[in-house]
Homo-oligomer: A and B are copies of this chain.
Amino acid sequence: MKLSELAELTSATIENGSPDLEITSAAGLDIAASGDVTFLANPKYTSQIETTKASAIFLNEGVKISRGDLAVLRAKDAYLAYTRALRTFFPVSPVVPGVHPSAVIDPTANVSERAEIGANVVLGKNAVVENGVKIYPNATIYDNARIGEGSIIHSGVSIRENCEVGRNCIVQNNSTIGSDGFGYAKDEEKRWLKIPQVGRVVLEDDVEIGANTAIDCASVGESRIKRGTKIDNLVQIGHSCTVDEDALICAQTGLAGTSVIGKRVILAGQVGIAGHLKVGDDAVLTAKSATSHDVEPGKVISGIPGFDNREWLRSTAAFQRLGDFTRRVRELENKVAGIIKAV
């Protein structure tokens, strides 16, 4: 692809370099080879520009570099432009329609002729698999589950009974969609009595679920992950939660039951959200923080329990001197006692 074509495709402008320069792939600064386009988004990596072997680079407005031999594509958002370049050079591998002879498909299941069903996949009663779906080997689709058009289900995944996967979703390996919620009532003998978990999970369109993640069904009703939300590896979503559109939930974060996560919320890694609460649109919880209260829209929250991120930064800075602090207060107490005695 010519540099000029790439610029057009990514809405960038050529600031340096020949429009006819041939670009063949895309890669990060450190591993890019000749012919690759690369990018700079995190200033931490600026020094790598000196040594990169890339032939062209996407740069945000205002960023200057000293390498005159590197073609420059000026973009409004270098990271986004680079992503579009990558998507062009590495298209998703095509679906090869057909059902592997070792797959076990219930006669009542409804599988599109344009779907690809891998080896040893098992589809339950009345399961529905739409056009362009790809199910990798050793995945299991329970009774009455539905996989929407263009979705990809990886090996080892279980989609439980009655659950629904929307269009163009991806579920990475060994994840569980629709496991029983963790609900028990204590009986008269202080033993746990299982609460039936007969609801379901709905993943709307364009949702991605990472590897080894578990999303519980509702006891009655549904857990719902709305359009465009992306969930990372090893995440726990409890029963009856709703995660609104375009949220980002990073690895090892956990949601207890019946919480509502707003649009475009970002939950960083290892965050904990207690049950029965609401995190407002565009809120951010930084890594390892937790909340047992509602979070207002747009707030950035840190700590356990979480509070305003700026206050938390001040508190954690003070915390690191807390041992010393104890000594200072004791000294003050002694001095004041001495003064009171003297006066």
Residues in chain A within 8 A of chain B (CB atoms): 26-28, 30-31, 42, 44, 77, 79-80, 82-84, 86-87, 89-90, 92, 100, 102, 104, 118-120, 122, 136-140, 142, 154-158, 160, 170, 172-176, 179-180, 182, 184-188, 190-196, 198, 206, 208, 210-214, 216, 219-221, 228, 230, 232-234, 236, 238, 240, 246, 248, 250-252, 254, 256, 264, 269-270, 272, 274, 276, 287-288, 290, 292, 303-305, 307, 311-312, 314-326, 328-329, 332-333, 335-336, 339-340, 342-343
With a cutoff of 8 Å between Cβ atoms, the chain B residues found around residue A328 in the complex are 329, 333
Q: Could you say which of B180, B182, B194, B210 contacts A179, with CB atoms under 8 Å apart?
A: B210
Within 8 Å by CB of A192, from B28, B234, B248, B251, lies B248
A319 contacts across to B, CB distance below 8 A: 303, 315, 319, 322
A173 interface neighbour in B30, B137, B160, B188, Cβ under 8 Å = B160
The residue in chain B whose Cβ has the minimal distance to the Cβ of A221 is: B31
**Shortest Cβ gap from A238 to chain B (Å):** 7
Chain B's closest residue to A234 (CB) is B236
Contact A230 B182 (CB under 8 A): yes
Residues of B within 8 A of A44 (CB): 276
A251 and B237 CA atoms in complex are apart in Å by 9
- One of B28, B214, B256 near A234 (C-beta < 8 A): B214
Least CB distance, A336 to chain B, in whole angstroms: 5
**Which B residues are CB-close (under 8 A) to A212?**
174-176, 212-214, 234
Whether B251 pairs with A182 at a CB distance below 8 angstroms is yes
- Whether A232 contacts B182 by the Cβ 8 Å rule is yes
Nearest residue, chain B, Cβ from A317: B323
A173 touches B158 (CB 8 A): yes
Chain B positions within 8 Å of A102 at CB level: 102, 104
**CA A219 to CA B32, docked complex, whole Å:** 12
Instruction: Decide yes or no: A90 and B315 within 8 Å by CB, A122-B138, A236-B252 being known contacts.
Output: no
B-chain residues with CB within 8 Å of residue A314 when the two chains form the complex? 322-324, 326
Q: Are B248 and A270 in contact (CB under 8 A)?
A: no
Sampled A-B contacts (12; CB under 8 Å):
A80-B193, A87-B195, A90-B196, A119-B122, A136-B140, A156-B157, A174-B212, A176-B212, A179-B233, A182-B232, A288-B304, A342-B343
Chain B residue nearest in CB terms to A282: B190
* Among A228, A264, A270, A339: residue with most chain B CB under 10 A: A270
A167 to chain B, nearest CB (A): 14
Q: Which of B80, B136, B220, B336 contacts A26 (CB 8 A)?
A: B220
Please tell me if the beta carbons of A236 and B236 are within 8 angstroms of each other in the complex. Answer: no
Chain B residue numbers with a CB within 8 Å of A154 are 158, 179
Apart from the given pairs A314-B326, A318-B326, A319-B319, 14 other A-B contacts in the complex at a CB distance below 8 Å: A120-B122, A138-B156, A156-B158, A192-B230, A212-B213, A234-B234, A287-B290, A287-B292, A288-B290, A305-B316, A311-B320, A314-B324, A315-B322, A332-B336
